[in-house]
Amino acid sequence: MPLNPEPAYRAPFPLMGGHLQTVYASEVRRVRGVEYKRERIDTADGDFLDLDWSAAREGDDDVLGGVAIVTHGLEGHSRRTYVLGMVRALNRAGWEVVAWNLRGCSGEMNRLVRFYHSGASDDLGRVVEHVADRRPGQPLALVGFSLGGNITLKYLGERGDDAPEAVRCAAVFSVPCDLKASALRMAEPGNGVYMARFMHHLKAKVRAKARLFPGELDLEGLDRMRDFRAFDDRFTGPLNGFGGAEEYWRRCSSKPLVPAIRRPTLVVAARNDPFLTPECHPEAAASEWVYLELPRHGGHAGFPQWGGTYWSEERTVDFAAQWA
């Protein structure tokens, strides 16, 4: 894997430190001007996925880059700020965008007991297949954040040379390529606020699922769960066909699959990302197709800039333009 020179990106003053860059980008930034048209598609196992389409700027057909498929992160959705910012930047550059919602994340609970997880590359495959059918001949670019980035890398690695010809490139940010290392990092006291928030939302989702499927979920001890190990051991793993947290983390981590990727792929992880450890970064020599960039600043899915467009969005537009 080519290890690109350290990017020149620096977070603007006074947004210093990974936590502040993470929180500002997620909780303070506002993105306006994105309009979606929703489409629901079925999955092979009888469930559904909600896709939100956003057209490129009217009159820009002459600079149309193709279609970008954006995958959000843990407990995210298509209207999260980091997704909207990326969609807007790509639209302005002439790309049509599909921001898809993982199972149970579109505002309506999915139909099955299983829900989304970090290894749901089958669902991304369904989305890619559908978009390619809807837009024949158009180049596709994949974009992923955090959990969505792991799904994107896993999808590309699993398919290798057999990835759809329409898929030209990918760009992913803040990816926990080693799920266990990231889960243990998130359990550290310094990340307690983030963990509490994630657990609050995940617990609410399990309770909602239990109401839809009486008697199929054991909620004993749910209120006492404080970290991903406990939650994944009881729910994420078993509900999605894994024995528990350890098996789920091992089988769904994208890191071992990176050497098999055969599409130009940009992997960006800030050195001050509070959610990741060095183990979460792919090996620098793993693949000639994957370009690793490790800026000093950025936080987790942050990379803020003053002036409207964030550095991660500019970097994605530039990288996609190289390969589309």
The catalytic position among 227, 232, 233, 273 is: 273
Closest CA to 105 of 126, 129, 128, 80: 80
Three-state DSSP at 256 gives: helix
- Told to judge if 273 belongs to the known catalytic residues of this protein, a careful annotator would answer yes
User: Is residue 117 among the annotated active site residues?
Assistant: no
Q: What single letter denotes the amino acid at residue 188?
A: E
Catalytic-role residue among 227, 281, 300, 312? 300
Do the Cβ atoms of 301 and 73 come closer than 8 Å?
yes
What separation in angstroms does the CA of 152 have from each of 131, 140, 145, 147, 280?
15, 13, 9, 9, 15
Task: Determine which one of 54, 146, 182, 287 is catalytic.
Answer: 146
| Pairwise CA distance, residues 324 & 320, whole Å | 6
CA dihedral 295, 297, 298, 304 (to 10 degrees): -110
The reply to whether 162 belongs to the active site is: no
* Active centre residues (catalytic): 146, 273, 300
